Amino acid sequence: MDKSKLAAQRQWIQAELNRCVDFWLQNGWDHKNGGVYTCLDRTGQIYSTDKSVWMQGRCAWTYAYLCRVYGARQEWLAFAKSCLDFLENHCVNRAAGNRLYFTVTAEGRPLRQRRYAFSESFYVLANAEYYGVTGEKTHLERARAAFELYWQLFRGQMDDPTRLGPKTIPETRSGRSLAPAMIGLNMCSVLRRCDPERTGLYDERAKLCAEDILRFHYKPGLGCTLENVGPEGEFWGDVTEGRIVNPGHDCECSWFLMEYANHVGDQALHQKAEEMFTCAINAGWDREYGGLLYFIDAKGLPPESYEHDMKLWWPHNEILIASLMAYRDTGNEAYYNWFAKTLDYCRQVFADPEYGEWYGYLRRDGQPTLPAAKGSTFKGPFHLPRSLAMADQMIGDMLK
């Protein structure tokens, strides 16, 4: 371990984290209506006032998590609370069993409802983390109730009160998607930490999520993890939907699994998680231009998504976490090399020393799409500050 190099990397990471945190406080916080705007251009100017419900929860979680890691700061807590209050007052569809909307107007009038329960998942994370910092029981109760709703929807234990129905005609094709189990595993981790009273429940459900991921989606024979599979993990090799591989998702999934393996003391599971990461990085890394491709095809055939060869910020954030966690836990220099290589790439193409925060969307050659954006309906203060804060903490632990 080269401690001087790690220390220098940590110094840059800390500076980027501070710039990111300040960028959203200064430019995204809606002091009039509450909550956060995330459609920001390179300089931080708002280019759309519609609000992402995902981002209200993600932002609230991020600033509460920063308080947990670095100590409570009034401005951080107030920002988190603003997003939580906006969620509660405007983003919960009471007429549809407390499902959450997907987008709302600046004032909070509903715009769009989606069948996926991911708005609910970030609402859970936000309320749980805020409770963990403040001890305000109302937020714990909200987190528990929304987690139960998510779980029952995910496991097919209730009908969706939105009545939107499945994405495809189930009589023709039905199967499994990776994201619900993956996000469920992350929720269990945060809830376990913030709500230790129910550790047994969260451990039981985390075990089911991990089993689903490894049994159905992880395909070592194909060298990848599949986004969509049949009900028993069947490979739909004749259609593009069945061959979708999202290497960034797989890196994120790998560190969720490593984190869980460390919690339960399962070295074999940790090894599988490391293998999942290695498959993802080897299959998805662009050997011509550098960086991680957004989508690839499990058979090397043309991917269906037109943005498949773009470079997005968040998959690189997940590489940083997964590679550093694997290095910390195993001492294997190959993982550190991926961390260092990715950090150098991010410093070169994603970071913006002039205005702060990272570009969200790059072309395959690493140039920002124009006009350049720092935020969108899907990008806000979440993946980047999470990865920088976790990297800062892990490097700090190693340097000790």
Q: Confirm whether 294 is domain-assigned.
A: yes
Which stretches within the chain are classed as H helix? 3-27, 53-70, 74-86, 118-134, 137-154, 178-194, 199-212, 240-243, 247-264, 267-284, 313-330, 333-349, 383-399
Q: Confirm whether 295 is domain-assigned.
A: yes
**pLDDT averaged per 10 residues in sequence order, the chain, 400 residues:** 94 98 98 98 98 98 98 98 98 98 98 96 98 98 98 95 90 95 98 98 98 98 97 98 98 98 98 98 98 98 96 98 98 98 98 97 97 98 98 97
Specify the 3-state DSSP secondary structure of 54: helix
Q: Confirm whether 116 is domain-assigned.
A: no
Q: Residue 153 and residue 142: Cα distance in Å, rounded?
A: 17
pLDDT of 166 reads: 86
Q: Confirm whether 125 is domain-assigned.
A: no
Q: Residue 117 and residue 99: Cα distance in Å, rounded?
A: 8
226 Cβ neighbours under 8 A, 6+ residues apart: 178, 217, 219, 235, 242, 243, 244, 245, 298
| CATH code assigned at 229 | 1.50.10.10
pLDDT of 167 reads: 85
Total structural domains in the chain? 1
Q: Confirm whether 39 is domain-assigned.
A: no
Q: Residue 229 and residue 174: Cα distance in Å, rounded?
A: 9
Q: Confirm whether 228 is domain-assigned.
A: yes
pLDDT of 1 reads: 82
- Host domain of residue 328: 178-369
Sort residue 357 into left (φ over 0), alpha (ψ -120 to 50) or beta: left
pLDDT of 235 reads: 98
Q: Confirm whether 214 is domain-assigned.
A: yes
pTM (whole model) above 0.95: yes
pLDDT in tens, 217-260: 999 999 999 999 999 999 999 999 999 999 999 999 999 999 99
Amino acid at 287: R
